Amino acid sequence: MKQYIKQTMTCAALAISTALISLSAAASERIEGWVETGGAAIAGADVSVWLAGPGAPQLLAKAKSDDDGSYDLSFAEVKDDSGVLYLIAEGGEAKQAAAKGPNPAITLMATLGPKPPEQVTINELTTLASAWTAAQFLNGSALSGNALGLRIAAGNVLNLVNLETGELGAVIMDPLNSSQTTTLAKLNTLGILLTACVTAIPDACNKLFEAATPPGGAVPANTLTAAQNIARHPAHQADKLFGLLDEFYPVPAGKRWREVALIPYLNFAPSAWTLSLVYSGGGYNGVGGIAIDAEGNMWSSNNFLAGGQTTIFSWVGGGISKFAPNGKPLSPMIKGFRGGGVDAGGWGITVAADNKVWVTSIIGSTISVFDDKTGQPLSPDTGYNLGGKLGQMQGIITTPNGDVWTLDNEHSQIVYLPKGDASKGRIYGQVVDGKPVDGTLQVKKPFGLAIDQQDRIWVSNSGSNTVTRFPASDPSKAVAFEVGYSPHAIAIDSKGNAWVANSIGHPGTMEKLAFVEEKIKAKFASHEGSAEERAAKEWIDLWEISDKYPGGDVSMIRPDGTVLGPFKSGTSMNGAWGVAIDGNDNVWVSNSMSHTLTQLCGVRTDTCPPGLKTGEAISPVGGYIGGLKTVTGLALDAAGNAWVANSWDQTRAGFKQVPDEALSTRFAANTTVVFFGLAKPVRTPLVGPVQGQ
């Protein structure tokens, strides 16, 4: 019956639209739809459409839902670049509530994007999808924020929910997400909890609101505020929220399932109510690093070619990939973007202020650059290799003045391209007869790098337990700081502090220390064989250390050189690899061996939950999980989404000289994971220290 009514309303809408066109040249918009809960109508709800932008949202039109939950809104057409449209439904009486009267705790939402669809159902799922994707932009029912971030948030709503029907979206139901993560079951469970409040199950709202009260914050007064609180503090009282499911909808005697409208739901309490989605395609495979461009697109450097039979002893090198902010692959499906000298993209990928994409190669031993719009290479077919003097390349950055700095991990060298001009490139860090050629500058297996507010370059030495710092204008004046063993990524916060992800961390016993030092020393030795064989031996060294002695932590180095830490987080930090800073200066770490994402309180403790100190964990003991495998790269975007790169999947197959045929194409992971609305938004691309939006 409901579908028949919808079809009838659609026909009526077309007729009205035709009449409006013939009667007036004035452009207008019209949205019709339903307000509902658990598939039943909410009558008498106040429905409004708003335009969100950087300032206060603008009310465009209001209506009230009829007894069948239907509503109809008409308003002046808005320009595509004016902002993001969204709907709010407040109050009303849920027909499932057995005529208990209007419920003032009802506030539901649907974020639409720059252009509205003709029909929109407003319900629990649209509310949750809107609250999670725009968690960093909501204040009650007011939505506002940076234009790019709002567009990203609105674009991802459709991945979670179908706005026309109010049912699950296409992406959350696809094979990568429906059964390989708990996101679908989490979304449904949260929807069931909201339904309990909306339909006025006795004391449901009070219990939900108490469990959704943020640390040190006020008790929410409606369902939308409760949802955004959970989205921003997903680990807070997570088990208490889950316990409400059994209170509101116990399994009836003699039955196996709860009598609810949304299935599947969770059977076990989650560690955090994060919502993440897994994306694939576009040549993404065995990724090293990732970066976000000015339009919110994610770029990845791919170690391996998708579909290739690859092990660490025999590589089929990959190119680079591009994903839209909503996870849609924009690069060729298998090969990605290739050419320009790329062969097995490494950790190093960055987007410059002029939006060019720079990437390094491990096997190719090259530096390459691509056009961010077309994906076409701008470097020659052989890439930039400075006369064949480069080895396996890893980290790369572009500076605010347009310089390019990158790292030769194999030969322990630093490469400098002034203004990105490879013809003027220079190599630093060489050691002759045991002495650095460039003053005090000496690096050991350099991996990640960053530039601070004082134009000082920071380099992590993955083959030791040090970080090197030097003025960009005078690399001969280098100093070194002791951190944890095998530091990888490094990032600078808004106060100039350098945060370092130590993959092995700080060994706790003399035996462990002896083992690590033996392995680190072995890494300094010159490996023989092909580029693939040399890289394989490097990886085996690191893998054996991490596998035999799990660990990992984070160090912070103040601008004056004081080293703080190590900072750890329960069981989540094992093989700390990537690190990123958000707009609140909180610290995010991707952990390769534990397959988790960790959030630490940064130096601005006023932005952390009450009582937390710098370096203490905001994320749960086991970290944030959901679709993660062996992870490497990490990047944050303008909507506060955390993008995490899955790199390896079937590791043991990849570590064989000849893998099992069935697993021979599955050494690499071929997915990236996006956690919605967790971080304070940042300005992209990241050129220099972090800048909040």
Domain boundaries, the chain: 2-122, 276-675
Determine the Cα–Cα distance for residues 448 and 471; give it in Å rounded to an integer.
Answer: 16
- What average pLDDT does the segment 412-421 reach? 97
Taking every pair of Cα atoms in the chain, the longest distance, rounded to a whole number of angstroms, is 88
Residue 547 has pLDDT above 70, yes or no: no
Mean pLDDT of the chain: 91
Residue 191 has pLDDT above 50, yes or no: yes
Residue 521 has pLDDT above 80, yes or no: no
Which residue pairs from 22-27 have beta carbons closer than 8 angstroms and sit at least 24 positions apart in sequence?
26/76, 27/76, 27/77
Identify the weakest region by mean pLDDT among 89-103, 240-254, 353-367, 479-493.
89-103
- DSSP annotation of 211 reads H
Determine the Cα–Cα distance for residues 136 and 110; give it in Å rounded to an integer.
Answer: 16
Q: Which residue has the higher pLDDT, 180 or 91?
A: 91
Residue 538 has pLDDT above 60, yes or no: yes
Determine the Cα–Cα distance for residues 315 and 303; give it in Å rounded to an integer.
Answer: 8
- What average pLDDT does the segment 654-664 reach? 90
pLDDT digits (tens, 9 = 90+) for 45-56: 999 999 999 999
pLDDT value of residue 464 = 92
Determine the Cα–Cα distance for residues 386 and 531; give it in Å rounded to an integer.
Answer: 18
For domain 276-675, the CATH superfamily is TolB, C-terminal domain (2.120.10.30)
Residue 433 has pLDDT above 90, yes or no: no
- What average pLDDT does the segment 413-417 reach? 98
Q: Which residue has the higher pLDDT, 47 or 14?
A: 47
pLDDT value of residue 99 = 61
Sheet with 393-398: strands ordered across: 393-398, 404-408, 413-417, 426-428
pLDDT digits (tens, 9 = 90+) for 611-623: 999 999 999 999 9
Name the band, by pLDDT with cuts 50, 70 and 90, for residue 402.
very high
- What average pLDDT does the segment 220-229 reach? 98
pLDDT digits (tens, 9 = 90+) for 450-473: 999 999 999 999 999 999 999 999
**51-62: string of b/e by CB count within 10 Å (b at 16+)?**
bbbeeebeebbe
Residue 25 has pLDDT above 50, yes or no: no
Nearest Cα neighbor of 110 from 152, 68, 154 is 154
Q: Which residue has the higher pLDDT, 547 or 125?
A: 125
Name the band, by pLDDT with cuts 50, 70 and 90, for residue 81.
confident
Determine the Cα–Cα distance for residues 127 and 120; give it in Å rounded to an integer.
Answer: 12
pLDDT digits (tens, 9 = 90+) for 110-140: 999 999 999 999 999 999 999 999 999 999 9
β-pair partners for 642:
636, 675
Name the band, by pLDDT with cuts 50, 70 and 90, for residue 20.
very low
pLDDT value of residue 17 = 39
Which residue pairs from 471-475 have beta carbons closer than 8 angstroms and sit at least 24 positions apart in sequence?
472/399, 472/403, 472/405, 475/414, 475/416, 475/428, 475/429, 475/438, 475/439, 475/441
Name the band, by pLDDT with cuts 50, 70 and 90, for residue 79.
confident
Domain 2-122 matching CATH 2.60.40.1120: the answer reads yes
Name the band, by pLDDT with cuts 50, 70 and 90, for residue 543.
low
pLDDT value of residue 316 = 87
Determine the Cα–Cα distance for residues 351 and 255; give it in Å rounded to an integer.
Answer: 56
Secondary structure of residue 124 in the 3-state scheme:
helix
pTM over 0.85: yes
Query: Residue 145: left (phi > 0), alpha (psi -120 to 50), or beta?
Result: left
pLDDT value of residue 1 = 42
Determine the Cα–Cα distance for residues 328 and 581; give it in Å rounded to an integer.
Answer: 25
pLDDT value of residue 511 = 53
pLDDT > 90: what percent of the chain? 82
pLDDT value of residue 97 = 72
Give CA separation, 494 vs 384, 455, 587, 687, in Å.
33, 14, 11, 12
- DSSP annotation of 329 reads B
Name the band, by pLDDT with cuts 50, 70 and 90, for residue 488.
very high
β-pair partners for 672:
279, 645
- What average pLDDT does the segment 314-332 reach? 95
pLDDT value of residue 180 = 87
Residue 66 burial (CB < 10 Å; 0-12/13-18/19+)? middle
Q: Which residue has the higher pLDDT, 87 or 571?
A: 87
Which of 96-110, 215-229, 301-315 is most confident? 215-229
Determine the Cα–Cα distance for residues 454 and 458; give it in Å rounded to an integer.
Answer: 11
pLDDT value of residue 577 = 96
pLDDT value of residue 430 = 87
CB atoms within 10 A of CB 672: 29
Residue 6 has pLDDT above 60, yes or no: no
Phi then psi for residue 99, to 5 deg, are 55, 45
**248-262: string of b/e by CB count within 10 Å (b at 16+)?**
bbeeeeeeeebebeb
